[in-house]
């Protein structure tokens, strides 16, 4: 579920967001979610729920409660194993913590990004390290089972020692999961504009590699295992929801710009809140674009996704799901990538080696 509202846009963000201006925006969002869910009938039985955005935590406690209530009208919650909500640290108040707990949220993902004030400023984030610690305490006290913190590294000016100190602070937080992202410079973001204007210099690939390795090493030492290229978890705290993406399995997305994938068809909702809502009001599906994945494309894409995970690809399972054998050319390439020690065999599975993880996109381009 995509809740689009943000207070402001962060410097690196290119998501479909809406700046929250009036309560009528929220009403339309809530009404739209109800309309969209009605399309799927009243018996959805998902394994996982994920409310992301945008910033779901920008909703007032009452609106948040109303949002969860509307989900309950069409979703059978008994099947849900994991229920994640994204939140900004500064939004986590005692009120909201209570709402989350009462709604049955099991996992909260906090947009921390850094615990270094200078790095936070660079990224255009408003919160303080103190607010982060406070949020984590509140969530734990509220009984949230699993807490994730997002981390961004390779920020301009961030030396290895600054990053190292930042990592120490992350590890000291009593959390269960870290999503550690190399900073990216997406088109049409404030960050990219600053780069184009020459006001900041992105880190060299070599320094980014040093940072990537440092993150991996420090988190591993602290008991966070890398189960995906950018995701680290303590045992039992992997995100089941996100694993469905990497395993190229089925999911339904609701809300503006949300993406769904069912039966090898993928579609994306209208990103604009008003367009999304008015389409739903007309009784139509708010689909902006859709594509059907032919078996060969499905196979290529599945390699690109599943190789991101530490479990890698089970060839026999992939063949069964694609309903076709993996072609000779791809098998030859796999052998070649194994010779280059970028891929390795782990039982019946194929997965990236540590060096392969650093070049995951090159490997994926070979097999796509």
Partner 1 sequence: MTSARIRNFCIIAHIDHGKSTLADRFLEITGTVRKEALEAQTLDSMELEKERGITIKAKAVMMKYKADDGQVYTLNLIDTPGHVDFSYEVSKALQACEGALLLVDAAQGIEAQTVANYHLAERAKLRIIPVINKIDLPTARPELIEEEFENILMLERERVLRASAKTGIGVKDILETVVRDVPPPTGDPNAAMRALVFDSVFDDYRGVIVHVRVFDGSFGRGDKIRMKGVGSTHEVLEVGTFVPGSMIPRERLRVGETGYMIANIKTLSDVRIGDTVCLEKEASTVVALPGYKAPQHMVFCGIYPTQNKDFDQLRRALEKLSLNDASFSYTPESSDALGFGFRCGFLGLLHMEIVQERLERESNVDIVQTAPNVTYEVVTTSGDVMRIESPAQLPDASQIEEFREPVTKLDIIAPAEFVGGLLGLAIERRGRFLHQEYISETRVMLSFEMPLAEIIFDFYDKLKSLTRGYGTMDYEVIGFRPAHLVRLRILVSGSEVDALSTIVHRDVAEQRGRKMLVKLREEIPRHMFEVALQAAIGGKIIARESIRAMSKNVTAKCYGGDITRKRKLLEKQKEGKKRMKMVGNVEIPQKAFLSVLGITRDAEK
Provide the minimum distance between the beta carbon of 364 and partner 1 in the complex, in angstroms, as a whole number: 5
Nearer to partner 1, 98 or 360 (CB): 360
State the Cα–Cα distance between residues 76 and 88, nearest whole angstrom. 28
Residue window 309-338: x/- pattern of binding to partner 1, with contact defined by CB under 8 A: ---------------------------x--
Of 42, 242, 130, 332, the residue nearest 233 (C-alpha): 242
Nearer to partner 1, 33 or 154 (CB): 154
Q: Which residues pair with 108 in a beta bridge?
A: 85, 147
Question: How far does the chain reach from its first CA to its final CA, in angstroms?
Answer: 28
Nearer to partner 1, 32 or 52 (CB): 52
Strand blocks (E) in the chain: 2-3, 5-6, 18-19, 48-53, 82-87, 107-113, 146-153, 177-182, 225-228, 231-233, 259-262, 265-269, 287-292, 313-314, 343-346, 349-352
**Window contacting partner 1 (CB under 8 A); options: 17-25, 94-102, 105-113, 206-214:** 206-214
Can you tell me which of 66, 301, 319, 344 binds partner 1, judged by CB under 8 A? 301
For 225, the 3-state DSSP assignment is: strand
For position 291 contacting partner 1 by CB under 8 A, the verdict is yes
For position 5 contacting partner 1 by CB under 8 A, the verdict is no
Binding residues for partner 1 restricted to 7-36, rule: CB under 8 A: 15
Nearer to partner 1, 304 or 326 (CB): 304
For position 65 contacting partner 1 by CB under 8 A, the verdict is no
Nearer to partner 1, 2 or 28 (CB): 2
Of 112, 108, 110, the residue nearest 99 (C-alpha): 108
Can you tell me which of 253, 255, 256, 312 binds partner 1, judged by CB under 8 A? 253
Backbone angles phi, psi at 50, to 5 degrees: -140, 120
Nearer to partner 1, 230 or 238 (CB): 230
State the Cα–Cα distance between residues 262 and 266, nearest whole angstrom. 6
C-beta contacts of 250-254 below 8 A and 24+ residues apart: 252/40, 252/44, 252/46, 253/1, 253/2, 254/1, 254/2, 254/33, 254/36, 254/37
Can you tell me which of 120, 304, 322, 326 binds partner 1, judged by CB under 8 A? 304
Can you tell me which of 62, 165, 331, 362 binds partner 1, judged by CB under 8 A? 362
Binding positions for partner 1, rule: CB under 8 A = 15, 181-184, 205-206, 208-209, 212, 229-230, 242, 245-246, 251, 253, 257-261, 266, 268, 291, 297, 300-301, 304-305, 308, 336, 340, 342, 357-366, 368
């Amino acid at each position: 579920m995509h809740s689009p509202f943000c207070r402001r846009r962060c410097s690196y963000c290119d998501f479909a967001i809406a700046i929250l201006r009036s309560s009528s925006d929220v009403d339309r969002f809530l009404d739209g979610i109800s309309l969209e869910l009605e399309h799927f009938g009243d018996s959805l039985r998902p394994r996982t729920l994920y409310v992301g955005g945008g910033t779901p935590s920008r909703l007032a406690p009452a609106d948040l409660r109303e949002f969860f209530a509307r989900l309950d009208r069409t979703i059978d919650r008994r099947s849900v194993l994991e229920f994640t909500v994204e939140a900004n640290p500064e939004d986590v108040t005692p009120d909201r913590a209570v709402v989350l707990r009462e709604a049955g949220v099991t996992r909260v993902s906090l947009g921390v990004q850094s615990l270094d004030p200078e790095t936070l400023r660079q990224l255009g984030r408003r919160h303080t390290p103190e607010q982060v610690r406070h949020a984590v305490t509140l969530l734990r006290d509220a009984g949230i089972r699993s807490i994730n913190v997002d981390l961004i590294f390779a920020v301009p000016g961030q030396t290895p020692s600054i990053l190292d100190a930042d990592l120490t602070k992350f590890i000291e937080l009593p959390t269960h999961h870290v999503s550690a992202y190399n900073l990216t410079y997406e088109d049409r973001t404030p960050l990219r504009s600053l780069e184009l204007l020459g006001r900041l210099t992105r880190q060299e690939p070599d320094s980014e590699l040093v940072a990537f390795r440092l993150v991996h090493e420090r988190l591993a030492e602290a008991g966070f295992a890398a189960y995906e290229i950018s995701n680290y978890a303590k045992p039992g705290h992997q995100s089941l929801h996100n694993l469905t993406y990497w395993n190229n399995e089925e999911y339904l997305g609701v809300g503006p710009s949300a993406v769904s994938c069912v039966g090898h068809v993928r579609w994306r909702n209208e990103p604009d809140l008003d367009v999304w809502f008015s389409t739903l009001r007309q009784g139509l599906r708010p689909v902006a674009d859709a594509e059907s994945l032919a078996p060969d494309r499905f196979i290529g894409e599945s390699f690109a996704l599943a190789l991101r995970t530490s479990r890698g690809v089970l060839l026999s399972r992939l063949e069964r799901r694609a309903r076709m054998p993996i072609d000779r050319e791809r098998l030859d390439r796999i052998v070649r990538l194994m010779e280059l020690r970028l891929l390795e065999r782990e039982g019946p599975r194929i997965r990236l080696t540590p060096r392969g993880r650093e070049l995951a996109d090159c490997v994926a381009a070979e097999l796509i």
